[in-house]
Amino acid sequence: MTERVRNILEELRPALNTPQLRAIAKRLGRDQTLAEQLWATGNRSARVLASFVAEPNRISRATMDAWVADLDSWGLCDACSCDLFDRTPYAWAKIRKWAKDDREFVRRAAFAMIAAITIHDKQAPDEVFLNALPLIEKYAFDGRNFVRKGVNWALRNIGKRNANLRAAALECAERVRAQGTTSARWIAADAIGELKLHSSR
């Protein structure tokens, strides 16, 4: 462990919230080597910080797979998914791969990435999000709390992007509801309620 990493860990010793970690990340700047050193410590706060300082265009596919396998909480999952993984050149390939993975936080990462991309990728055509709807339908059965919330989040965010995608998301929600599982019914009802409210604003 380098002296720089030891000093950062010392700074992280008190419990820090996400805004405080973002402030440290801003000071440190993007640095993939540092991010990997921080991740290797196994410290939860250091790993969140790693997701903020890692370089989306430099992180490798193998490192993404290694990091996603280490995810053990929704907070760390969403930090990686929404501040790093979603901005890499491999985002959609990883979404398709990780959605198939039965591990709770790996699958959540896939859907959290979709939710994040709807917000930050302003130039993406509707087609890429329409192509994500079948994944939402396929995994709506998964009743694990963080997965179903991730699936729901992705569906809602797709529908909020524009009127065309809202109509497609509502149609998707109806197909999800027709699946009849407890998880699918919850995902559909919540998404339909929010999207109809959003369209009336």
168-179 pLDDT tens trace: 999 999 999 999
135-168 pLDDT tens trace: 999 999 999 999 999 999 999 999 999 999 999 9
In b/e form, how buried is each residue of 89-120, taking b as 16+ CB within 10 angstroms? Answer: eebbebbebbbeeeebbbbbbbbbbbbbbbee
- Tell me the residue type at 68: V
**Is residue 192 within 8 Å of 170, Cβ to Cβ?**
yes
Report CA torsion sign: 36, 38, 41, 44. negative
* Cα gap 145→122, rounded to integer Å: 29
Place of tokens 């930090």: 79
* Cα gap 159→194, rounded to integer Å: 9
Place of tokens 């369209």: 199
Residue 46 has pLDDT above 90, yes or no: yes
Residue 201 has pLDDT above 70, yes or no: no
Q: Which domains does the chain have, with CATH numbers?
A: 1-55 (no CATH), 72-199 (1.25.10.10)
**Is residue 196 within 8 Å of 158, Cβ to Cβ?**
no
69-116 pLDDT tens trace: 999 999 999 999 999 999 999 999 999 999 999 999 999 999 999 999
Q: In this predicted structure, what is the pLDDT of residue 200?
A: 60
121-136 pLDDT tens trace: 999 999 999 999 999 9
pTM of the model: 0.95
**DSSP 8-state secondary structure symbol assigned to residue 25:** H
The contacts of residue 123 (CB under 8 Å, 6+ apart) are none
The contacts of residue 151 (CB under 8 Å, 6+ apart) are 111, 136, 139, 140, 142, 187
